[in-house]
Chain A
């Protein structure tokens, strides 16, 4: 009995090890099967894919990567696949902002994944990954933005005295967006130096406006199902962007900026404050950055309602309804979101969606004496837990964003007033909603 018990324990331990390694699959379980996948590509996403051969070795399956594109291109390709009815692949990269568009393309993971796998991901993230009550994606990492700043500007005694004299309160990293505006205008010295910057086009500016709207106490949709962003709160939110542009506190090119421009701009040392995601944190403090050793980070400031901005999204994996081997697909995405996989991504600065991986990366950074990464993960972890909110869960988010962002730009560059721009955007957005019905 004792020997049997030991043997059973050993076998169980061995099986558990294989299971943990393969993320839910038994050795050789999918021998000879080829799993067809479409994944997001790009420098920040690729390190995770170096683990795919491990899953192949553990399960006997092969992974055929049909696409490896940025998400906007991948989104187009997926839409074309839906239109042509050629869903001949199993796993696709997804994102919380895009997921509601795809209708019934993807399975409800609640049905095919064990509870412990789903439960290993943060509740907030799973909630944002749910569309119409269906968990359509398993998140690999999250993005939420916090405020980076150049520390020496705040330590400078002359800056402190001048700021106090001009604005009547002490110069310190800002707690509210109004303070960000004051400080950005104070620090700006165009064209050599700017107070802050923002992403100014596509879904980027729509998302930034959306989070500012929420922080101002407004809402994107009204109770009647129509858009409500052209409210007083909406005008206040948009006016913040307009005022900074008019004051030349942001680079003149911001209406054309996307994530690369804001990241590289801050690292160039020509911008005092920058709201951005954690993916840049290591780069800002690296030898490639001109502000190495001089970067501070605080939680995103509050709007006039007292709520912090926290537009958030998660990159994720989904399984198609048309998949011919959902178990293999489930095993694959479980493996790519397990503890070890998330640690691979976390070491590059990406924010894990598993609380245990977040804790572990903080401990690992402490052990290495990397105070900066500890601070980064603690700040982003808090922000993810307390401030983060996703875009409205509607398939119209992207189409409405496409109507909204040119109008936001029109207000920013002074072609329209904030109210006019939002009214025009609301009219176009409401037409989209009416067309749907």
Chain B
């Protein structure tokens, strides 16, 4: 009895209160995040097949990882994903910046423009995938028919077959769908921007480019890095677009980590191997997130006048 009273007293002591209050959140995080992470890490050392629960206990050691490290196709998909992320995120940033600057200049109908700008985000990625799949279809697609009708080409351009063209088509669809995320965040940055430095720059005789380069852009960079961090994690949404448009093919030419892992884990039911692939690819997410956060910290420091 006295022991219980002791525990109660300790639990409700003033020092313990913050920990007790945090406990539900910690428990939730453990259940929602940590447990699945540990479970999937465990399964990556097994020959776990989704359709055969008994294989959950079939330990195969590092075999899945050994196969991944010697699998050329996996590493091609890995570095293709790095390239895709780098190109798509940078282009989305540039286009989003342009749209944000233009909308910021609009004095009439700005709210309507902002709403219209967000339309592509409202479509499901699967619908976007189907839409662009038919636009880029070599035989009955709108694009080839338009190019042929305008006399620009008399060939059926294999948009979704040629490796570079197919990646370009997928990147185009992804950029179309998600550029507005950058535009919205950068527009928020522009709205929050103080007018004094801009007026001071004008008084000092800076031209438009100098004002943009040395005042507007540095102010916007923390917003840009936040957007990039979000997008680098969120761009995996592109799975549906890639899966619908090319399925990672033909001949693996547009294979990204997400299509490879999903096919291995779900279609082939080889979840042990898929989780091992996912753990190796986490390196990619950590690298991108670390890079953007370090850039964000640097940009904030710059804005704080440390440099």
Contact = CB atoms under 8 A, between A and B. Distances in A.
Is the pairing of A and B real? yes
Interface of A: 72, 75-76, 79-80, 82-83, 85, 101-103, 105, 190-191, 194, 200-202, 251-253, 255-256, 261, 264-265, 268, 270, 395, 398-399, 402, 405-407, 409-410, 412-413, 415, 435
Contact of B53 (A83, A191, A402): A83
Contacts, number: 109
A85 B144 CA distance: 48
Nearest to B246: A256
A82 B161 contact: no
B270 interface: yes
Contacts of B158: 252-253
Contact of A251 (B51, B138, B247, B252): B138
Interface stretch (B22-30, B231-239, B260-268): B260-268
Contacts of B52: 103
Given A101-B269, A398-B267, 10 more contacts: A75-B267, A202-B247, A251-B156, A253-B160, A265-B139, A270-B140, A398-B269, A402-B263, A409-B250, A413-B161
B51 A201 contact: no
Contacts of B267: 72, 75-76, 398-399, 402
A413 B140 CA distance: 20
A72 B240 CA distance: 13
Nearest to B262: A76
Interface string B12-50: 000000000000000000000000000000000001001
Given A252-B161, A399-B270, A435-B47, A191 B252 contact: no
B47 A413 contact: no
A264 B252 contact: no
A102 B51 CA distance: 6
Nearest to B156: A191
Given A202-B247, A413-B161, A252 B156 contact: yes
Contacts of B247: 201-202, 256
Contacts of B199: none
Contact of B250 (A101, A251, A413): A413
A399 to B, nearest CB: 4
Given A191-B154, A252-B156, A256-B250, A76 B266 contact: yes
28 contacts: A75-B267, A76-B266, A79-B266, A103-B52, A191-B144, A191-B154, A194-B139, A200-B250, A201-B249, A251-B139, A252-B158, A253-B137, A253-B156, A253-B159, A256-B160, A256-B161, A256-B245, A256-B249, A270-B139, A398-B269, A402-B263, A406-B252, A407-B251, A409-B250, A409-B251, A413-B250, A415-B251, A435-B47
A201 B250 contact: yes
B155 interface: yes
A253 B139 contact: yes
A264 B137 CA distance: 11
Nearest to B163: A413
Interface of B: 47, 50-53, 137-140, 144, 148, 154-161, 166, 245-247, 249-252, 263-264, 266-271
A82 B50 contact: yes
B139 A409 contact: no
Contact of B51 (A82, A261, A402): A82
A253 B138 contact: yes
Contacts of B53: 82-83, 85
A79 B249 contact: no
A103 B51 contact: yes
Contacts of A72: 267
A350 to B, nearest CB: 23
A114 B114 CA distance: 64
Contacts of A200: 250
Contacts of B263: 402
Contacts of A255: 161, 249-251
A379 to B, nearest CB: 26
A399 B267 CA distance: 7
Nearest to A101: B51
A270 B53 CA distance: 49
Contacts of B159: 253
B168 to A, nearest CB: 14
A268 B140 contact: yes
A190 B140 contact: no
Contact of B251 (A85, A105, A265, A410): A410
Contacts of B160: 253, 256
A105, A410, A413 pick with most chain B CB within 10 angstroms: A413
Nearest to A416: B251
Contacts of B250: 200-201, 255-256, 406, 409-410, 412-413
Nearest to B158: A252
A200, A256, A398, A405 pick with most chain B CB within 10 angstroms: A256
Nearest to A411: B251
B254 to A, nearest CB: 9
A37 B224 CA distance: 47
